[in-house]
Chains A and B, each alone.
Chain A
Amino acid sequence: MSSPSTRISRRESIQWMLAASAVLAGHDAPLTGADPAIAAKGYGPDPSMVKIYQPGDVWPLTLDEAQRDTVRALCDLILPADETSPSASVVGVPDFIDEWISSPYPAQAGDRRTLLDGLKWIEDAARQRFRKPFAELSVAEQTQLCEGIASLKPKPELKKAAAFFKRFRDLTAGGYYTTPEGMKAIGYVGNVPTATFDGPPPEALRHVGLA
C-alpha cells in the first residue's frame, strides 16, 4: 500500500480505493458545509440570445486554482487529444465545468456538491496514494486512480466517488461535443447553409439496407 508503483493490480487498486473512501467518509459533512453559497444572479428572462458568451460572463466562476488544476487534468484524462481532435481542456471544457457548478440556478446545485466533494476526494486519493497532486501524476497513475471509481456498479463505499466520476465524465463529454471541435469529432457536420437538401447520401442508405 505504501509503494507508489503504478503496476498494482486492479484488485489491489480497488481495495486501496475502499480504504481511501473510508477515510473520506469521516470528514464528509464539513466538506459540503464549507461550500460558499452562490449569491450571483442568473441571466434573467430576457438575455441577448445572439451574444457569444464565455463562462464567467454572467456569473463569476468559483473554483480555486488547485481545483481548476484537478479539473483540467480530469477533463484531459476523459477526453485526451487524438490524431485529429484537441483535448477537452484545449477547447475550454474546464471553464464550462466551473461555470456549471458556479451556476445560481437550482438545477446545478446538486452537481456543485457532487463535484466539489469528488474533486476533494480525488485530490486526497492522489496525495495519499502517490504523494502528489492529481494534476502532477502521470497519465498511467491518473488512469489507475480513476479506473477504481469508473464503475457502473460500485461497492457501497465507493458509491459517492463513482457517482462523481460518472457525472464529471458526462459533463466533460457534453461540454466537449458542444464545441466546434467536438462536433467535428463526433460527426456532426450541419449548421451550414446549403442551397438544397438532397436527403441521405447513398452510403448512409446502404448502411441501413435502404439502397
Chain B
Amino acid sequence: MPVLQADQLQDRYDVIIVGSGAGGGQTAYALTMEGVKVLVLEAGRSFDPATEVAMFQLPSQAPLRGERTPDKPYGFHDCSIQSGWEIPGEPYTNAHAQPERQFNWWRQRMMGGRTNHWGRISLRNGPYDFKPRQRWGQGFDWPISYDDLAPYYDKVERLIGVFGTNEGIENSPDSSPGVLLPAPKLRVGELYAQKHGRKVGARVVSIHRAVLTKPQDADTLPALLHPDNPGAQQLLAEHMRSRAPCFWATDCHRGCSIRANYDSQTVHLRPALATGNLDILPNAMVSEVTIDASGKATGVLFIDKTTGREGRARGRVVVLAAGSQESVRLLLNSKSNRFPQGLANSSGKVGKYLTDSVSSSLSAHIPAFEGMPVHNEDGAGGPHAYVPWTRHGENRRMGLGFPGGYHLEFTSGRQMPSLGVVSGIDTLAASDSVLFGRRLREEARRFYGSRLGFGAQGTMLPNDQCYAELDPEVKDQWGIPVLRFHWQWSDFELNQVRNQQRHIGELLESLGGRLLKPPADDPLKAIRPGGAVIHEVGGAIMGEAPETSVTNAWSQTWDVKNLFLADGAPFASTADKNPTLTLMALAWRMADHLMAELKRQNL
C-alpha cells in the first residue's frame, strides 16, 4: 500500500522527498529504480489522471463556460485543483505596495504538483545560460556547464518522451541523435510565420514538448537509461508500453488520461511505486526539517491536513522539492540554536536571487487567415513551433541593453472556441454597429481562427531587490510563518520588454497583421508581473563557494551535507528557456550524486 496515511509511515527511510512535482518525481524515480527506499510527502491530495482529468469536456459542460474564477484561475477544465496565486488559508505577503513590485506566488496543492497543467514545453538551457557573467558580465556563473548537464538532458528526454527537431541553433542545444521523437507537422499560422517572419529575422522552428508523437521505444530505451539493472529495465519497459501516443486532440493543460504527455505522477511516480521502494504520503504539509546534534538532517515535521495533527518522518537524507519558494520557506522556518538564521543559511543567501521569466505579448488579426477552409488543427494539444533566440551576435556585449535573450511562443489557430470567441468582431468587420443576426453568424465564421499572437519569455539574471524572507508576523492556517516577497524589475528586464514589444510588433506586421493594440512604450505596462509566468526559480542558488551560495554544484547544501534541493531553488538565473526540463536534468544528476555519496557512507 504505497500511498499511505500518516500513521502508516515506516520508521525510517533512506531518503525523504518533500514535493511530488517535476523535481520530486524525477528524484523519486531515479532513486527507487536503483533500490533506494524513499518517502515522498505531498501537501495536496491524491489525484488520479486516469479518471479525474477532463479531456473532451466542452466549455458548455462547465459552470460559466469554463471561464476563470478565483477557485480555478486557469479555467474550469485546467488540470489544477487546490491551486492558484491565492489559496485560502495559505497567505504570503509583499514588502512593497506598488503594483510593479508585487510578486505573485502560484502554489499547486495536488499529487504531481504543477506538472499537471503545464504546456509541456521542454527546452534545454544553452552553454551561455550557465555562464552569464562570462558571457555578459552580469549575474552569477553556475558552477556547472552545459556539458555537465547534457547527458542528463538526454536521459530525461528519453524517459519522459520529447518531440522536436535538432536545428543547430546557437545556445539552443540539439539533443543527441535519436533522442527526440518526431516533430508534428506545423499548423497554417506556424508555417505562415515561418515563411514571412524571415523578413524581420524571426526563425520559426519546431518546438520541443513532452508529448509522445509515437510509442516510446520500450525495447531499447530502458537499457540505455538503466544499464546493468535488469529489474529497472523491465519495469520501465512495461511502463513505456502502457503509454499511448498522442491522439491529436485536447489541450495538454487539461492533463492526459492516455499518458501521452508527461506529468510527474504518470511518468515518474507510477514506475517508482511499482519498484516497491516508494511510499507516498499525501495531505502532508511539511513545516520543518529536523536536525540532530551534529547538524545533520534527520527528517521532517509535517501537518497531516486530514487530522490537523503533527507528524514526523525520518530519513538518512532529506531532499526538498516543494517548489523553489516553498523550499526556501522550509529552510527559513527550520531554525535551531545551531542554525538561528534557518537551515543551510550560513551565507545568508537563502531566499535571495529570486528570478522569473521576463514576459510580454502582443497579438494581431491576420487578414490572410480570414475565411480559412475548415480543418482540424488541434494537433499535439499545444504549440508545434516557436521562435528561438538567434540574435547572439547583436547582443554579444549586451548591445541590445539586456543580458540573454528571449524566445517567442505562438498562440494561434482554430482552437476550441471559448467564451471570448467573437471579441472584437465588430471592429474586425469594420462595422459601425454591434453585429447580430445573420451577419453575426457570417462574420463569426469568417474571422474565427484569424488571430495570431506571440508571447516572449526571456532571461532574468538575479538582482539584490528580488528575494523572499519570512514575514515577521503573518502565519498560515497551520501556524507556519509565511513568506514576504521583495520584487523589483531592473533596467535589464525593462529594456528587454521594450525590445520584445517592438520585435513582436514588427513580426506580426511582417505577416500582414493588424495589431490589436500597439506595442507598449512603457515596459511596465506590458511586462507580466513577477510570478505570473509561474517560472520562478532561485532562492537557494548553487555556486562555487559556501559564502556566496546555498548549494554546491550537486544541489547539496554547503552547511548540511545530507540535505539536497531538487526544484528550481538552486537555479542561479533564469534562461530564455522554460525551467522544467533543466530542473529535471539537475534533479537526476543530483540523485546520482546522492546515491554515490550514500554508497561511500559520506552522508
Contacts and interface: CB of A to CB of B under 8 A. Distances in A.
B195 interface: yes
A45 B88 contact: yes
B296 to A, nearest CB: 38
A210 B191 contact: yes
A103 B419 CA distance: 15
A9 interface: no
A143 B276 CA distance: 70
A65 interface: no
B63 A57 contact: yes
A39 interface: no
B414 A43 contact: no
Contacts of B188: 200, 204-205, 207-208, 210
A153 B426 CA distance: 12
Contacts of A201: 373, 375
Interface stretch (A19-27, A77-85, A129-137): A77-85
B437 A103 contact: no
Interface residues of B, number: 82
Interface string A172-211: 0111011110110111111111111111110111011110
B60 interface: yes
A49 B54 contact: yes
A186 B258 CA distance: 29
Interface stretch (B143-151, B441-449, B532-540): B441-449
A48 B578 CA distance: 30
Given A150-B433, A152-B426, A182-B417, A197 B184 contact: yes
B369 A50 contact: no
Given A191-B250, A208-B192, A45 B72 contact: yes
B65 A77 contact: no
A203 B188 CA distance: 11
B248 A196 contact: yes
Given A179-B60, A190-B377, A143 B437 contact: yes
B372 interface: yes
A96 interface: yes
Given A103-B64, A175-B419, A177-B417, A169 B435 contact: yes
A152 B425 CA distance: 12
Contact of A186 (B52, B72, B248, B417): B417
A183 B417 contact: yes
Contacts of A192: 249, 376
A180 B59 CA distance: 10
Contact of B440 (A169, A197, A207, A208): A169
Contacts of A46: 45, 81-82
B307 interface: no
Nearest to A42: B71
Contacts of B184: 197, 199
A105 B79 CA distance: 20
Contacts of A79: 436-437, 440-441
A105 B69 CA distance: 7
A150 B436 contact: yes
Contacts of A77: 436-437
Interface residues of A, number: 76
Interface string A82-96: 100100000110001
Contacts of A85: 441
A160 interface: no
Contacts of A151: 432-434
Contacts of A173: 421-422, 425, 440, 444
B599 interface: no
A99 B65 CA distance: 10
Interface in A30-71: 42-50, 52-53, 55, 57-58
A165 interface: yes
By CB atoms of chain B within 10 A, which of A77, A165, A183 has the most?
A183
Contacts of A194: 247-249, 376
A189 B376 contact: yes
Contacts of B338: none
Given A42-B70, A50-B51, A205-B191, A78 B437 contact: yes
Contacts of A52: 57, 61
A96 B60 CA distance: 8
A29 B371 CA distance: 45
Interface in B52-80: 52-54, 56-72, 76-77, 79
Contact of B414 (A143, A166, A170, A188): A188
B472 interface: no
B205 interface: no
A49 B80 CA distance: 9
Among A57, A91, A208, which residue has the most Cβ atoms of chain B within 10 A? A208
B47 to A, nearest CB: 10
Contacts of A210: 188, 191-192, 195
A152 B433 contact: yes
Most buried by A among B54, B87, B184, B433: B433
B79 A96 contact: no
B60 A204 contact: no
A121 interface: no
A124 B502 CA distance: 50
B483 interface: no
Contacts of B419: 171, 174-175, 178
A139 to B, nearest CB: 9
A55 B441 CA distance: 24
A107 interface: yes
Nearest to A190: B378
A207 B79 contact: no
A178 to B, nearest CB: 4
A99 B87 contact: no
A106 B449 CA distance: 30
Interface string B517-532: 0000000000000000
A174 B422 contact: yes
A32 to B, nearest CB: 22
A43 B192 CA distance: 42
A17 interface: no
A199 B182 CA distance: 14
B248 A197 contact: yes
A178 B71 contact: no
B199 interface: no
A48 B77 CA distance: 9
Contacts of B445: 185-187
A62 B376 CA distance: 38
Among B71, B431, B435, the most chain A Cβ lie within 10 Å of the Cβ of: B71
B418 A174 contact: yes
Given A44-B71, A165-B434, A204-B372, 9 more contacts: A42-B70, A47-B71, A99-B64, A107-B67, A152-B426, A174-B418, A175-B65, A178-B418, A193-B248
22 contacts: A42-B69, A45-B72, A52-B57, A78-B436, A78-B437, A103-B64, A153-B432, A169-B436, A170-B422, A170-B423, A173-B421, A173-B440, A174-B65, A174-B421, A178-B60, A180-B58, A185-B445, A187-B449, A190-B376, A190-B414, A194-B249, A197-B184
Interface of B: 45, 51-54, 56-72, 76-77, 79, 81-84, 87-88, 184-188, 191-192, 195, 246-250, 368-369, 371-380, 414-423, 425-426, 431-438, 440-441, 444-445, 448-449
| Shortest beta-carbon contacts, A-B, top 9 | A199-B185, A193-B247, A174-B419, A190-B378, A178-B59, A49-B54, A150-B434, A197-B248, A78-B436
